[in-house]
Amino acid sequence: MIELVRPTVDLLQSWWEMVDDFGVEPIHGSSYRPGQRESLQDPAAFEEWVDWLGRMEREDEALPEGRVPSSNRWVVRGDSVVGTIAVRHSLTPSLLVEGGHIGYAVSPRFRRQGVAHAALGLGLRLAGSRGIDRALVTCDVANVASARTIASCGGALEDERDGILRHWIATAPWQVYGQVPSGASGVGGP
């Protein structure tokens, strides 16, 4: 069963296992950058970072330039972090081109198991709870698997801009009980 949970220090070990699984590949929707690894190895720094991820949801939080309030969640199956997802509450001109409302990533060893479909469906439910009626979800033109996942969740391709496919998905169908993808459960609160 797939769940979206708020980042927590309780999943620290599983988080690092997921990060290691990605290697040098970017972890979309995580707010994690590889250059942070050394500093985040300190448990106190990791706890502070997890707290910051939670504060990013607050509309009154002072965020770095270019950042918008967002709901960051870890994609969890059982007791393992298997991916990340971020639901951005609004779009900047940059996010309108690349990034969109929802960014997500699934750990390489958990791909092709329905995790991305379930996580994106739960992310769309979370976006709807944040007042987003239509969510923009983007992917690289070469990322065929992600484009298929987006389409399977109702994504309608608007266009391609500089190698980025831009899809819009209505969130309303995901708000209806029973429309959550098979194998998915919850979104970690609004």
User: Which one has a higher pLDDT value, 177 or 66?
Assistant: 66
Q: What is the mean pLDDT of residues 114-136?
A: 95
**Residues 104 and 115 sit within 8 Å (Cβ to Cβ):** no
| Share above pLDDT 70 across residues of the chain, in percent, rounded to a whole number | 92
The pLDDT of residue 15 is: 92
Q: Of 111, 177, 182, which Cα lies nearest the Cα of 153?
A: 182
Domains and CATH numbers, the chain: 2-175 (3.40.630.30)
Residues contacting residue 24 through CB under 8 Å, at least 6 positions apart:
34
Evaluate if residue 99 carries a pLDDT over 70: yes
Average pLDDT over residues 154-171: 95
Q: Does the pLDDT of residue 178 top 50, yes or no?
A: no
pLDDT of residue 39: 87
The pLDDT score that the predictor gives to residue 127 is 95
Neighbours of 115 (CB within 10 A): 22
Question: For residue 23, how many other CB atoms are within 10 A of its CB?
Answer: 8
| Percent of the residues in the chain that have a pLDDT greater than 90, as a whole number | 74
Q: Give me the pLDDT at residue 177, please.
A: 45
* 56 closest CA partner among 67, 70, 73: 70
Interaxial angle between packed helices 144-152 and 115-129, expressed in degrees from 0 to 180 and rounded to the nearest 10: 50
Q: What is the pTM of this model?
A: 0.88
92/112 Cα distance (integer angstroms): 32
In this structure, are residues 102 and 135 in contact, taking their beta carbons and an 8 Å threshold? Answer: yes
- Residue 166: what pLDDT? 97
Q: How far apart are CA 73 and CA 137, in angstroms?
A: 16
Q: What phi and psi values does residue 126 have, to the nearest 5 degrees?
A: -65, -40
Bridge-partner residues for 127, per DSSP?
Answer: none
Nearest to 74, CA basis, from 41, 49, 38: 49
49-53, 75-79, 176-180, range with the lowest pLDDT: 176-180
Give yes or no for residue 93 having a pLDDT over 70.
Answer: yes
How does the average pLDDT of the chain come out, rounded?
89
Q: Which has the higher per-residue pLDDT, 62 or 127?
A: 127
Give, in order, the Cα–Cα distances in Å from 27 to each of 14, 133, 143, 159, 183.
15, 26, 14, 24, 23
